[in-house]
Amino acid sequence: LLPSKTGWLGVHLRMTGQLLWVNQSEPVPKHARVRLFLEGNQELRFVDQRTFGQMWYVPRETEVSSVITGLKLLGPEPFSAEFSIAYFAQKLHRRVRPIKTALLDQSLVAGLGNIYADETLFLSGVLPTTLCADLTAPQIGRLHSAIIQVLEKAIASGGTTFSNFLNVQGVNGNYGGVAWVYNRKGQPCRTCSTPIERIKLAGRSTHYCPACQK
């Protein structure tokens, strides 16, 4: 969500969407869908090759979640006070599904995608196939800390680029170059040199180290 003087601008990038902050004199790319002209000859462009992305304008007097209805379904942000260990443990309690699948559930915690779920599980030493109901209190504590650690590192690295991601300056994110396990099938674990393995869980590629994760 981007605030303005008159309301809010909501953007969901989805698979190929990009927000680019450029000079108005920059050539307009083929897949530019929206152009917002700003002061100082600046421009915010929404570029989306596959047109799966969405954009909303919500006037200030309107409740944002009444227009962007998906916000009502989101869990707490990982850096918020609401995302406590107690909250996390309560949400995982008695859930009979793999922890990797649970981490991708945006109603549990918002903003954790496939890449960072794999990285979280590696740093916490937990196998992605472990059922939520079987997690111990120490494992849940490590998972909670790892979520925050992974996202802090990714933000500091400018995000992760394996295909379409660019930041607003048009620069690729470089977290992918230091990922512990994601997209590293067959490569040696950065900790123990065991080859990284890949499986599918709920239709998503899942990478892990069979030696470091138990």
> Using 50, 70 and 90 to split pLDDT, how confident is the model at 166?
low
Residue type, 122: F
The CATH number that domain 2-73 falls under is 3.20.190.10
What tokens does 41 get?
């000859």
> Using 50, 70 and 90 to split pLDDT, how confident is the model at 171?
low
Q: Where are the beta strands (DSSP E) in the chain?
A: 2-3, 7-12, 17-23, 32-37, 42-48, 54-59, 197-201, 204-208
**What letter does residue 209 receive in the DSSP assignment?**
-
The whole-number average pLDDT for the span 52-73 is 93
Rounded Cα–Cα distance for residues 53 and 144 (Å): 30
Residue identified by tokens 């740093």 is: 123
Per-residue pLDDT, 4: 75
Q: How many CB atoms lie within 10 A of CB 14?
A: 13
Per-residue pLDDT, 3: 75
Residue 206: exposure state from Cβ atoms within 10 A (0-12, 13-18, ≥19): buried
Q: Are 47 and 53 in contact (CB under 8 A)?
A: no
Summarised one tens digit per residue, pLDDT across range 114-137 is 999 999 999 999 999 999 999 999
* Domain ranges within the chain, ordered by starting residue: 2-73, 85-208
Rounded Cα–Cα distance for residues 94 and 76 (Å): 20
Residue identified by tokens 């989101």 is: 74
Q: State the average pLDDT for the chain.
A: 90
Cβ neighbours for 116, distance < 8 A, ≥ 6 positions apart: 147, 150, 151, 154, 160
Q: Are 47 and 13 in contact (CB under 8 A)?
A: no
What tokens does 25 get?
């004199």
User: Per-residue pLDDT for 147 more than 70?
Assistant: yes
How many residues are there in the chain?
214
Residue identified by tokens 């406590």 is: 84
Top-confidence residue, 171 or 61: 61
User: Per-residue pLDDT for 175 more than 80?
Assistant: no
Q: What is this structure's pTM?
A: 0.80
Domain 85-208: top CATH class: mainly alpha
